[in-house]
Structure 1
Amino acid sequence: MKRFARDRVTLIISHRLSSLMHADQILFVEGGRIVERGTHEELLALGGRYRALHDLQLRPDDERPVAGAA
């Protein structure tokens, strides 16, 4: 991706945060509104919605909640 985006403005829309880690700017959109904006490192440090989704996606499979489990 870096090779194709070099010297170009590139817009990536993704639910998979690992695809966005090297972006210059990340806009976290929820309900049609930008709720957080920054680099990967800035958004992790902020500790908001991006961080929560990041932690959920990177959690080992055996620690993820099981659908329908109470």
Structure 2
Amino acid sequence: MKRIDLRKSKDLFADLKTHIDDAKIGEVLVILFEIGDFSNVEKSYKFVYDNECKLLNSLKFNQSDWTIVIKKDTL
């Protein structure tokens, strides 16, 4: 399991893609990012699915941050 803090990321989805690509098959990633206008939360679900990962959990961490837990399924 790897914890990834993307709260200061300038390009959330490009950085997330890099971490997903670097992860091993079956590895679980806990990703923390800023909510912003909430659209990133909704976009993250589709992004995870499109990058062949399974969304295990999604929750509000505090007033401004969100956490998703994903598992890399395939190459």
TM-score (norm 1): 0.27
| The structure with more radius of gyration | 1
Q: Which has the higher contact order (CA 8 A, sep 6+)?
A: 2
TM-score (norm 2): 0.26
